Amino acid sequence: MELNLQPLNLPSDNVRPFVIAGPCSAETEEQVITTAKQLAGKGCHMFRGGVWKPRTKPGGFEGNGEKALPWMKRVKEETAMLVATEVATPEHVELALKYGIDILWIGARTSANPFAMQLLADSLKGVDVPVLVKNPVNPDLELWIGALERINGAGITRLAAVHRGFSSYEKKLYRNAPMWQIPIELHRRIPALPIFCDPSHIGGRRDLIAPLCQQAMDLGFDGLLVESHCSPDDAWSDAAQQVTPDILDYILSMLVIREKVDLGEDLASLRKKIDEVDNDLIELLARRMRISRKMGEYKKEKGMTIVQPKRYTEILDKRGAQGSLLGIAPECVKNIFEHIHEESVRQQMEIINK
Ligand code: PEP
Ligand code: MN
């Protein structure tokens, strides 16, 4: 399904990065207003605050609910920043709209659930509000696109995606693995869809916010959704990943923002060289496949099986090591050769079964 998209049409549409910042949770009126006032006038364009909080385990702070919505309204009135909050049910949508929330976002646990997404989409019919859809917790691009399609199908054309990383059993450096190839592929498939990066939920740690923001900018993301709290250590949720508005301002001021388009001479001539190398690669692959077919004929004649595991392992190891000497990740070379081998086996099968 092709998405019907329009620009978000917000005051900071043409600014890159478009920054939405604010606390993980709207904890108290004072915390909300203090944080918002500190953020206003810095690099921040819009205020975020979680009113309903999806928590992994019960018994913790699950958000203030409706009680916090007038605080968000006050932020709008007193700072002129627009405000955003997470919605997970039709009831949340109704309340958020009632209190004048300007942007709704859909969290990672909700976008993973098509039933919940459809209910949300139905509740948004006939409403004109921008909606941000976070990636589902699991690394499934189709599920993410499906969630966007459901919202778009309800008539919401001011739509954007938020990359917040993917959950994994083994926690390594990141709280949620970035797997950048997924948002990159989303952008390739739907170029008109703005993409935000949420470095807070990817990193899970304050010191990872700056490098993640820079990476997102280098990859051409449009905006950032960052958690910022007036007193991060005292936060009621996600304390380890929140930064003060001052620190956020510093991080933003240090970002190197590269131009998204540059079709100057140098780039055009480098692209031409890449095209030439790609041509050579395809021709070499075709040559390799012709040899494979000859081997297929030989194996057929001798009554041999096609796959010789020892030889296959030898190719993967040898080429992986060679790649690493030439500065290419051995895993990448192995992946490429796995695909080449798969096609080579298919070609030999064709010969044998002829
Ligand atoms: C959040 O933004 O506060 C949040 C709960 O994020 P996610 O849905 O990405 O976990
Ligand atoms: Mn959070």
CATH number at residue 76: 3.20.20.70
121-171 confidence digits (pLDDT tens)? 999 999 999 999 999 999 999 999 999 999 999 999 999 999 999 999 987
- Give the CA dihedral 241, 244, 245, 250, nearest 10 degrees: -80
Phi–psi pair at 349, nearest 5 degrees? -60, -40
Q: Per the domain annotation, does 318 fall within a domain?
A: yes
Q: Are residues 112 and 56 in the same domain?
A: yes
Residue that finishes a domain, picked among 216, 232, 253 = 253
- CA 288 vs CA 219, 293, 294, 340: distances in Å: 34, 9, 10, 9
> What residue ranges line ligand 1, CB within 6 angstroms?
24, 50, 54, 86, 107-108, 134, 164, 198, 201
Q: Are residues 293 and 229 in the same domain?
A: no
Encoding tokens for residue 53? 């909080």
Q: Are residues 189 and 308 in the same domain?
A: no
Q: Per the domain annotation, does 10 fall within a domain?
A: no
Residue 313 belongs to domain spanning: 265-352
167-208 confidence digits (pLDDT tens)? 999 878 999 999 999 999 999 999 999 999 999 999 999 999
Encoding tokens for residue 251? 């991080």
Hey, which residues does 104 pair with through a beta bridge? Answer: 85, 131
Q: Are residues 193 and 274 in the same domain?
A: no
Say which ligand is closest to the CA of 176.
1
Q: Per the domain annotation, does 348 fall within a domain?
A: yes
Ligand 1, residue 105: give the atom nearest the CA. 2
57-98 confidence digits (pLDDT tens)? 998 999 999 999 999 999 999 998 999 999 999 999 999 999
CA distance 115 to 123: 13
Which protein residue's CA is at the shortest distance from atom 1 of ligand 1?
A: 24
pLDDT at 260 over 80: no
Number of structural domains found in the chain: 2
Ligand 1, residue 108: give the atom nearest the CA. 8
- CA 97 vs CA 48, 86, 326: distances in Å: 15, 12, 56
Q: Per the domain annotation, does 4 fall within a domain?
A: no
CA distance 200 to 21: 10
Q: Per the domain annotation, does 9 fall within a domain?
A: no
Residue that finishes a domain, picked among 233, 253, 273 = 253
For 47, the 3-state DSSP assignment is strand
Q: Are residues 187 and 296 in the same domain?
A: no
CA atoms within 13 A on the CB side of 185: 11
Is residue 195 within 8 Å of residue 160, measured between CB atoms? yes
> Could you count the other beta carbons within 10 Å of the beta carbon of residue 131?
25
Say which ligand is closest to the CA of 108.
1
Q: Which CATH number is 274's domain given?
A: 1.20.59.10
* Ligand 1: centre distance to CA 246 (Å): 22
The secondary structure of residue 178, as a DSSP letter, is -
Q: Per the domain annotation, does 160 fall within a domain?
A: yes
Q: Per the domain annotation, does 5 fall within a domain?
A: no
Q: What predicted TM-score, i.e. pTM, was given to this entire model?
A: 0.83
